């Protein structure tokens, strides 16, 4: 019998790349309010918080833009 190799975490998405939520860990049978928009969703982010994929991608893009602006303005 051979040992299974542990799954590697996917690399972080490049700018403009969509998040990969094909794994079953991003699904729950229980709908809960999205942490970003408040609408019900069965989807879960990587920390198991309820979130729509589109909402999570928009939040990631916003945080990335804010960090880039802070860096350009010498705040980081």
Residues 35-70 pLDDT 10s: 999 999 999 998 999 999 999 999 998 988 888 888
Query: Residue ranges of the domains in the chain?
Result: 24-72
- Give the span between the Cα atoms of 33 and 45, in whole angstroms: 13
Place of tokens 């602006």: 69
- Give the span between the Cα atoms of 70 and 15, in whole angstroms: 17
**Do residues 30 and 14 make contact, with C-beta atoms less than 8 angstroms apart?**
no
pLDDT of residue 15: 61
pLDDT of residue 64: 87
pLDDT > 90: what percent of the chain? 47
Residue 14's Cβ-count burial label (10 Å; 0-12, 13-18, 19+) is: exposed
- What's the pTM value of the predicted model, to 2 decimals? 0.69
């Amino acid at each position: 019998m051979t040992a299974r190799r542990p799954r590697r975490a996917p690399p972080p998405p490049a700018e403009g790349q969509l998040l990969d939520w094909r794994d079953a860990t991003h699904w729950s049978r229980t709908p809960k309010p999205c942490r970003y928009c408040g609408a019900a969703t069965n989807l879960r982010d990587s920390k198991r918080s309820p979130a729509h994929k589109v909402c999570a991608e928009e939040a990631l893009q916003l945080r990335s833009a804010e960090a880039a602006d802070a860096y350009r303005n010498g705040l980081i």
